[in-house]
Amino acid sequence: MPADLDQQPQNHSEASHQDISAEDLRMMQQALALAAQAEALGEVPVGAVVVYQGDIIGRGYNRMITDADPSAHAEMVAMREAAAWLKNYRTLDTTLYVTLEPCPMCAGMLVHSRVKRVVFGAYDAKTGAAGSVFNLLQEPRLNHQVELCGGVMAEACATQLSNFFRQRRAAKKALKQAAKIQPSD
């Protein structure tokens, strides 16, 4: 999970790929709505859905704090649900949509799962493992490569994250100031 996402890399253009369908946009909207649920719990707002034959079979949002689980990233939660639905740890012919570029942990899981395609929103210049820092999803030395489409609704996804971090910083600052005003004894 990134520390902060105020800075989106400048070398990526919004929706740089040409092969974005209406379904891609619709599913990314669903992922954004799930990210808002994470935010309501005080979690970093990242959401994900898994789609199989046009249907959503897995939904997830970041719940690391809620579950006290360092692996509870949105992608992990959504893929667990999808694999359970498919009754198969290999999620062949599925597409994962996630509002933020997957981290190395999630990218590793996605390669293991044999997911067919990953569509993500905001780029993560600090820990992104789908092209920004690493490209584990298309690493030729691994035994599975994933079709990749980044930057879909990138601005909306990045704004959701940066608003969250801005509000969190403001809240921390207000707490510090309140502590200064209150005598410590």
List, as residue ranges, the binding site: 73, 103, 106
Residues 104-133 that bind Zn ion (CB under 5 A): 105-106
Stretch that binds Zn ion, among 73-81, 117-125, 145-153, 156-164 (CB under 5 A): 73-81
- Give the Cβ contact number of residue 101 at 10 Å: 32
Q: Which residues of 42-79 are buried (b: 16+ CB within 10 A; e: fewer)?
A: ebbbbbbbbbbeeebbbbbbbbbeeeeeeebbbbbbbb
Shorter beta-carbon distance to Zn ion: residue 27 or 103: 103
Q: Of 23-31, 56-64, 98-106, 130-138, which segment contacts Zn ion by CB under 5 A?
A: 98-106
Distance of CA 84 to the CA centre of its chain: 20
SS (H, E, C) 122-173: ECCCCCCCECCCCEHHHCCCCCCCCEEECCCCHHHHHHHHHHHHHHHHHHHH
Instruction: Name the binding residues for Zn(2+).
Output: 73, 103, 106
Out of 23, 39, 43, 75, pick the active-site residue: 75
Nearer to Zn ion, 130 or 154 (CB): 130
**Nearer of residues 105 and 125 to Zn ion, judged by Cβ:** 105
Q: At its nearest, how many Å lie between Zn ion and the CB of residue 174? A: 30
73 belongs to the binding site for Zn ion (CB under 5 A): yes
Tokens of 63: 């719940």
Least gap, CB of 98 to Zn ion (angstroms) = 8
Pick the closer one to Zn ion by CB: 100 or 149: 100
Considering the complex, what minimum distance in angstroms separates the CB of residue 129 from Zn ion?
8
Q: Is 75 an annotated catalytic residue?
A: yes
Instruction: Report whether 71 contacts 97 (CB < 8 A).
Output: no
H helical segments located in the chain: 22-40, 64-67, 74-86, 104-113, 154-181
Minimum gap (Å) between residue 164 Cβ and Zn ion: 16
- Asked if 154 and 160 count as a contact pair (C-beta separation under 8 A), the reply is no
**Active site (catalytic) residues:** 75
Binding site for Zn ion (CB under 5 A): 73, 103, 105-106
